[in-house]
Protein backbone atom coordinates (compact mmCIF):
# COMPACT_ATOMS: atom_id res chain seq x y z
CA UNK A 1 0.00 0.00 0.00
CA UNK A 2 2.82 2.41 0.71
CA UNK A 3 4.23 4.18 -2.28
CA UNK A 4 7.90 3.45 -2.50
CA UNK A 5 10.30 5.03 -4.84
CA UNK A 6 10.13 3.36 -8.21
CA UNK A 7 13.64 3.30 -9.66
CA UNK A 8 13.19 4.23 -13.34
CA UNK A 9 15.46 1.38 -14.48
CA UNK A 10 13.54 -1.37 -12.66
CA UNK A 11 10.49 -1.66 -14.94
CA UNK A 12 12.35 -2.01 -18.26
CA UNK A 13 15.06 -4.17 -16.67
CA UNK A 14 12.55 -6.56 -15.10
CA UNK A 15 10.65 -6.90 -18.39
CA UNK A 16 13.91 -7.51 -20.28
CA UNK A 17 14.98 -10.17 -17.77
CA UNK A 18 11.53 -11.81 -18.05
CA UNK A 19 11.91 -11.84 -21.84
CA UNK A 20 15.38 -13.42 -21.54
CA UNK A 21 14.07 -16.05 -19.10
CA UNK A 22 11.44 -16.92 -21.70
CA UNK A 23 14.18 -17.38 -24.31
CA UNK A 24 16.40 -19.47 -22.05
CA UNK A 25 16.82 -22.93 -23.58
CA UNK A 26 15.35 -25.76 -21.53
CA UNK A 27 15.47 -29.53 -21.97
CA UNK A 28 12.50 -30.87 -23.93
CA UNK A 29 11.00 -32.59 -20.87
CA UNK A 30 11.08 -29.29 -18.92
CA UNK A 31 9.67 -27.12 -21.73
CA UNK A 32 5.97 -27.66 -20.83
CA UNK A 33 6.59 -26.36 -17.32
CA UNK A 34 8.15 -23.05 -18.41
CA UNK A 35 6.31 -20.26 -16.63
CA UNK A 36 5.13 -17.24 -18.58
CA UNK A 37 7.69 -14.90 -17.03
CA UNK A 38 6.52 -11.86 -19.00
CA UNK A 39 3.00 -12.28 -17.67
CA UNK A 40 4.18 -12.60 -14.07
CA UNK A 41 6.33 -9.47 -14.25
CA UNK A 42 3.72 -7.51 -16.18
CA UNK A 43 0.98 -8.40 -13.69
CA UNK A 44 3.22 -7.24 -10.84
CA UNK A 45 3.69 -3.84 -12.49
CA UNK A 46 0.01 -3.57 -13.37
CA UNK A 47 -0.86 -4.06 -9.71
CA UNK A 48 1.87 -1.93 -8.15
CA UNK A 49 2.50 0.83 -10.71
CA UNK A 50 -0.63 1.27 -12.85
CA UNK A 51 0.42 4.82 -13.70
CA UNK A 52 3.44 3.42 -15.58
CA UNK A 53 2.05 0.20 -17.08
CA UNK A 54 -1.20 -0.32 -18.94
CA UNK A 55 -2.72 -1.87 -22.03
CA UNK A 56 -0.29 -0.09 -24.37
CA UNK A 57 2.78 -1.37 -22.56
CA UNK A 58 1.29 -4.87 -22.48
CA UNK A 59 0.66 -4.73 -26.24
CA UNK A 60 4.16 -3.44 -27.09
CA UNK A 61 5.86 -5.97 -24.78
CA UNK A 62 3.75 -8.69 -26.40
CA UNK A 63 4.83 -7.62 -29.90
CA UNK A 64 8.47 -7.61 -28.82
CA UNK A 65 7.99 -11.09 -27.36
CA UNK A 66 6.32 -12.29 -30.56
CA UNK A 67 9.33 -11.15 -32.56
CA UNK A 68 11.86 -12.51 -30.04
CA UNK A 69 10.18 -15.91 -29.68
CA UNK A 70 9.28 -16.25 -33.34
CA UNK A 71 5.64 -16.92 -32.51
CA UNK A 72 2.57 -15.79 -34.44
CA UNK A 73 2.84 -12.02 -34.76
CA UNK A 74 0.31 -10.52 -32.38
CA UNK A 75 -0.45 -13.68 -30.40
CA UNK A 76 1.46 -12.72 -27.25
CA UNK A 77 0.41 -9.12 -27.72
CA UNK A 78 -3.22 -10.24 -27.64
CA UNK A 79 -2.65 -12.55 -24.67
CA UNK A 80 -0.83 -9.94 -22.59
CA UNK A 81 -3.32 -7.20 -23.48
CA UNK A 82 -6.26 -9.37 -22.39
CA UNK A 83 -4.42 -10.22 -19.19
CA UNK A 84 -3.65 -6.55 -18.57
CA UNK A 85 -7.30 -5.62 -19.11
CA UNK A 86 -8.45 -8.20 -16.55
CA UNK A 87 -5.82 -7.13 -14.02
CA UNK A 88 -6.73 -3.46 -14.47
CA UNK A 89 -10.39 -4.27 -14.01
CA UNK A 90 -9.79 -6.16 -10.75
CA UNK A 91 -6.70 -4.28 -9.52
CA UNK A 92 -8.40 -2.86 -6.43
CA UNK A 93 -9.34 -6.34 -5.23
CA UNK A 94 -6.05 -8.01 -6.23
CA UNK A 95 -3.96 -5.38 -4.50
CA UNK A 96 -5.45 -6.12 -1.12
CA UNK A 97 -5.37 -9.92 -1.37
CA UNK A 98 -2.60 -11.65 0.55
CA UNK A 99 0.11 -12.99 -1.75
CA UNK A 100 -1.25 -16.54 -1.40
CA UNK A 101 -4.67 -15.47 -2.71
CA UNK A 102 -3.03 -13.40 -5.41
CA UNK A 103 -1.25 -16.59 -6.51
CA UNK A 104 -4.63 -18.28 -7.01
CA UNK A 105 -5.79 -15.33 -9.11
CA UNK A 106 -2.55 -15.54 -11.10
CA UNK A 107 -3.27 -19.23 -11.77
CA UNK A 108 -6.67 -18.23 -13.17
CA UNK A 109 -5.09 -15.52 -15.33
CA UNK A 110 -2.45 -17.90 -16.66
CA UNK A 111 -5.04 -20.58 -17.34
CA UNK A 112 -7.12 -18.00 -19.23
CA UNK A 113 -3.94 -17.13 -21.15
CA UNK A 114 -3.58 -20.78 -22.24
CA UNK A 115 -7.21 -20.83 -23.36
CA UNK A 116 -6.67 -17.69 -25.46
CA UNK A 117 -3.53 -19.19 -26.96
CA UNK A 118 -5.32 -22.45 -27.80
CA UNK A 119 -8.23 -20.54 -29.34
CA UNK A 120 -5.89 -18.41 -31.46
CA UNK A 121 -4.03 -21.49 -32.68
CA UNK A 122 -7.31 -23.23 -33.45
CA UNK A 123 -8.74 -20.23 -35.30
CA UNK A 124 -5.60 -19.87 -37.43
CA UNK A 125 -5.15 -23.57 -38.09
CA UNK A 126 -1.84 -23.67 -36.24
CA UNK A 127 -0.80 -26.81 -34.35
CA UNK A 128 -1.95 -26.94 -30.73
CA UNK A 129 0.47 -27.18 -27.84
CA UNK A 130 0.76 -30.65 -26.28
CA UNK A 131 -1.46 -31.32 -23.23
CA UNK A 132 1.56 -31.13 -20.89
CA UNK A 133 1.81 -27.37 -21.56
CA UNK A 134 -1.31 -26.88 -19.44
CA UNK A 135 0.91 -27.42 -16.37
CA UNK A 136 2.68 -24.06 -16.85
CA UNK A 137 -0.09 -22.03 -15.11
CA UNK A 138 0.48 -24.11 -11.97
CA UNK A 139 4.21 -23.38 -12.09
CA UNK A 140 3.45 -19.68 -12.57
CA UNK A 141 1.14 -19.75 -9.57
CA UNK A 142 3.90 -21.30 -7.44
CA UNK A 143 6.42 -18.70 -8.64
CA UNK A 144 4.14 -15.71 -8.02
CA UNK A 145 5.19 -15.21 -4.38
CA UNK A 146 8.97 -15.17 -5.05
CA UNK A 147 8.55 -12.92 -8.12
CA UNK A 148 6.24 -10.55 -6.23
CA UNK A 149 8.49 -10.38 -3.16
CA UNK A 150 11.67 -9.88 -5.21
CA UNK A 151 10.21 -7.10 -7.34
CA UNK A 152 8.60 -5.49 -4.30
CA UNK A 153 11.90 -5.45 -2.42
CA UNK A 154 13.69 -3.93 -5.42
CA UNK A 155 10.91 -1.38 -6.00
CA UNK A 156 10.79 -0.30 -2.38
CA UNK A 157 14.57 -0.13 -2.11
CA UNK A 158 14.89 -2.74 0.62
CA UNK A 159 12.40 -1.05 2.96
CA UNK A 160 9.89 -3.73 3.64
User: 36-70: b or e for each residue (b if 16 or more CB lie within 10 Å)?
Assistant: bbbbbbbbbbbbbbeeebbeebbbebbbbbbeeee
* Number of domains forming the structure of the chain: 1
pLDDT at 3 over 80: no
pTM (2 d.p.): 0.92
Q: What is the mean pLDDT of residues 78-106?
A: 96
pLDDT number for residue 159: 59
User: What is the rounded CA–CA span in Å between residue 159 and residue 152?
Assistant: 9
Q: What percent of the chain has pLDDT over 90?
A: 84
Asked whether residue 4 is assigned to any structural domain, the reply reads: no
pLDDT number for residue 158: 61
pLDDT number for residue 1: 42
**Which structural domain, as residue segments, surrounds residue 102?**
10-24+32-156
Asked whether residue 3 is assigned to any structural domain, the reply reads: no
Asked whether residue 5 is assigned to any structural domain, the reply reads: no
pLDDT number for residue 149: 95
Angle at alpha carbon of residue 47, lines to 64 and 101, rounded to 5°: 115
What pLDDT, in 10s, does the model give residues 33-58?
A: 999 999 999 999 999 999 999 999 99
Band of pLDDT at residue 7, cut at 50, 70 and 90? confident
Asked whether residue 142 is assigned to any structural domain, the reply reads: yes
Tell me if 108 sits within 8 A of 153, measured CB to CB: no
Asked whether residue 101 is assigned to any structural domain, the reply reads: yes
pLDDT at 76 over 60: yes
Asked whether residue 85 is assigned to any structural domain, the reply reads: yes
Q: What is the mean pLDDT of residues 94-119?
A: 95
Q: What is the mean pLDDT of residues 87-113?
A: 95
Band of pLDDT at residue 2, cut at 50, 70 and 90? very low
Amino acid sequence: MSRGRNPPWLLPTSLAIALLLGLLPLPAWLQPFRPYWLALVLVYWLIEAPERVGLGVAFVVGLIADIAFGSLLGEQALRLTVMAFIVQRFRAQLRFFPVSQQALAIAGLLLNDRVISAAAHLALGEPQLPPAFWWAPLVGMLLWAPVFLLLDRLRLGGRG
